[in-house]
Homo-oligomer: A and B are copies of this chain.
Amino acid sequence: MKRDSRLSSVLHALLHMADHDGPMTSEALACCMSTNPVVVRRTMGLLRKAGMVSSERGHSGGWRITGDLNRITLRDLHDALGEPAVFAIGNKTEAPECLVEQAVNAALDDAFAEAEALLLSRFQNVTLADLAANFSRRFAERRQTKD
C-alpha cells in the first residue's frame, strides 16, 4: 500500500526551517525533501491553517515557523494534516449486516483503537524541539566520529 508520508515530510521541512534564518521558499524545501514545490505548498498550507507556519509571497518571500517549537507536537501536526487514516489494514465492510462479520469487526476495531490511541499519545509526547535536539546530538556524534 502506498503510504502517506506527509507527516515525515513536514517534520523534515520544519526542522530545516528551524535551522535556517529567514523564510525558505517552497522550491528550497522541495529540493531538500526531493519532492515538488507545489506539493510543499499544498502540505504547508495545511500547517498554515493550523497556525504553525506563515507564508509570504513575492521577493524574499517563503515559509516561516510561527509556532513555538516546544509546543508543537507530532500529534498537532498529524491533526493539522487532517488526521489521515493510521492503518493500512481494515475491515472489509464498515457496517455489515452479517452477525459473524460484526463480531469480527468488533474484535479488530478494539485492537486498532488501542493501538491508535497509543500511537497518538506517543505523538503527543514528542515536540519539534525534541527532534531538533535529537538532530543536534546526531550532528555532534558525526563530527566526533570524523575527528
Report A94 CB to chain B, min CB distance, Å. 10
How many residues of A sit at the interface, in one of the four size bands? Answer: 35 or more
Report A27 CB to chain B, min CB distance, Å. 17
Number of copies: 2
How long is the Cα–Cα vector from A117 to B87 in the complex, in angstroms? Answer: 14
How long is the Cα–Cα vector from A91 to B100 in the complex, in angstroms? Answer: 36
- Flag if B5 contacts A100 (CB, 8 Å): no
- Residues of B close to A74: CB separation below 8 A: 107-108, 111
Partner of A139, one of B1, B19, B99, B138: B99
Partner of A131, one of B4, B15, B90, B107: B107
- Flag if B8 contacts A103 (CB, 8 Å): no
Partner of A88, one of B19, B88, B130, B134: B88
- Flag if B108 contacts A7 (CB, 8 Å): yes
Chain A, 74-103, contact with B by CB distance < 8 Å: what is the 0/1 string? 100000000011111111110000111111
Given A7-B89, A8-B90, also A103-B134 (CB < 8 A): yes
Give the B-binding residues of A (Cβ under 8 A). 1-5, 7-9, 11-12, 15-16, 19, 32-35, 74, 84-93, 98-108, 110-112, 114-116, 118-119, 122-123, 126, 130-131, 134-135, 138-139, 142
